[in-house]
Amino acid sequence: MLPRPWSIVIAASCLLTTVLCQNNLNEASLINHLLQDYTPESRPVRDSTNAVRVTLDLALSQLIDLDAKRQELKTNIWLRHYWKDEYLTWNASEYNGLSAIRIPSNQIWRPDIVLYNRRFEEGYADTPDTNAVIYSDGSVNWNYPTTIQSSCVVDITYFPYDKQECLLTFGSWTYDGFAIDLYNRTAVGDLNNLIESEEWQMLEMEAIRNVIIYGCCPEPYPDVTYHIRIKRKSLFYNFYMVAPCIVLVLLAVLGFCLPMDSGEKLSLGITMLLSLVVFAQIVSDKLPASSRAIPLIGQFFGISIVVVTLSSAATVIAMNLHFHGPMPQHIPKWLRPLLYMRRCRSNKTASTAENPDLKSVYENVNPKLDLGPVKPPPNFSSSPEPNDNIHSLNKDSNNSGRIFLLLDRKLDSMIAHLKTIVARHYRKDTRDARSDEWKQLAIVIDRILLGSFMFVALVATAVLLGPYAAQ
Burial track 399-424 (b if 16+ CB lie within 10 A, e otherwise): eebeebeeeeeeeeeebeeebeebee
From first CA to last CA, the distance across the chain in angstroms is 83
DSSP per-residue string spanning 190-237: B-TTPBPPSSEEEEEEEEEEEEE--TT-SS-EEEEEEEEEEEE--HHH
Does residue 391 have a pLDDT over 90?
no
Neighbours of 242 (CB within 10 A): 23
The sign of the CA dihedral 150, 156, 160, 164 is: negative
Mean pLDDT of the 415-420 span: 81
User: Does some domain include residue 9?
Assistant: no
Mean pLDDT of the 65-75 span: 91
The pLDDT, as a whole number, for residue 398 is 61
Query: Torsions phi, psi of 378, nearest 5?
Result: -65, -25
User: Does some domain include residue 277?
Assistant: yes
Does residue 381 have a pLDDT over 50?
no
Q: Are residues 217 and 344 in the same domain?
A: no
CATH number at residue 44: 2.70.170.10
pLDDT digits (tens, 9 = 90+) for 161-179: 999 999 999 999 999 999 9
Q: Are residues 197 and 283 in the same domain?
A: no
Does residue 45 have a pLDDT over 60?
yes
Cβ-proximal residues to 432 (8 Å cutoff; 6+ apart), any chain: none
Q: Are residues 124 and 271 in the same domain?
A: no
Pick the last residue of a domain from 175, 204, 233: 233
Q: Are residues 185 and 290 in the same domain?
A: no
Q: Are 209 and 187 in contact (CB under 8 A)?
A: no
Does residue 355 have a pLDDT over 50?
no
User: Does some domain include residue 312?
Assistant: yes
Give dist(CA 288, CA 155) in Å, integer.
Answer: 10
Percent of the chain with pLDDT over 70: 76
Q: Are residues 264 and 362 in the same domain?
A: yes
User: Does some domain include residue 186?
Assistant: yes
Pick the last residue of a domain from 201, 233, 265: 233
Out of 52-56, 241-245, 315-319, 372-376, pick the least confident: 372-376
Q: Are residues 214 and 310 in the same domain?
A: no
Out of 60-69, 181-190, 441-450, 457-466, pick the least confident: 441-450
Mean pLDDT of the 290-295 span: 79
The sign of the CA dihedral 242, 243, 248, 253 is: positive
pLDDT digits (tens, 9 = 90+) for 311-351: 888 888 777 777 776 666 666 676 666 666 555 554 444 44
Q: Could you tell me the residue range of the domain that residue 301 belongs to?
A: 234-471
The pLDDT, as a whole number, for residue 111 is 94
Q: Are residues 179 and 57 in the same domain?
A: yes
Q: Are residues 286 and 414 in the same domain?
A: yes
User: Does some domain include residue 87?
Assistant: yes
Number of domains in the chain: 2
Higher-confidence residue of 454 and 170: namely: 170
Pick the last residue of a domain from 174, 203, 233: 233
The pLDDT, as a whole number, for residue 377 is 47
Does residue 277 have a pLDDT over 80?
yes
At 21, is the secondary structure helix, strand, or coil?
helix
User: Does some domain include residue 267?
Assistant: yes
User: Does some domain include residue 378?
Assistant: yes
Q: Are 192 and 329 in contact (CB under 8 A)?
A: no
CA angle, 113 as apex, 70 and 210 as ends, to 5°? 80
Neighbours of 332 (CB within 10 A): 8
**pLDDT tier at 456 (50, 70, 90 boundaries)?**
confident
Q: Are residues 225 and 239 in the same domain?
A: no
Give dist(CA 55, CA 100) in Å, integer.
Answer: 19
Q: Are residues 138 and 278 in the same domain?
A: no
Higher-confidence residue of 88 and 438: namely: 88
User: Does some domain include residue 31?
Assistant: no
Q: Are residues 75 and 210 in the same domain?
A: yes
The pLDDT, as a whole number, for residue 8 is 57
Residues present in the chain in total: 471
Q: Are residues 217 and 241 in the same domain?
A: no
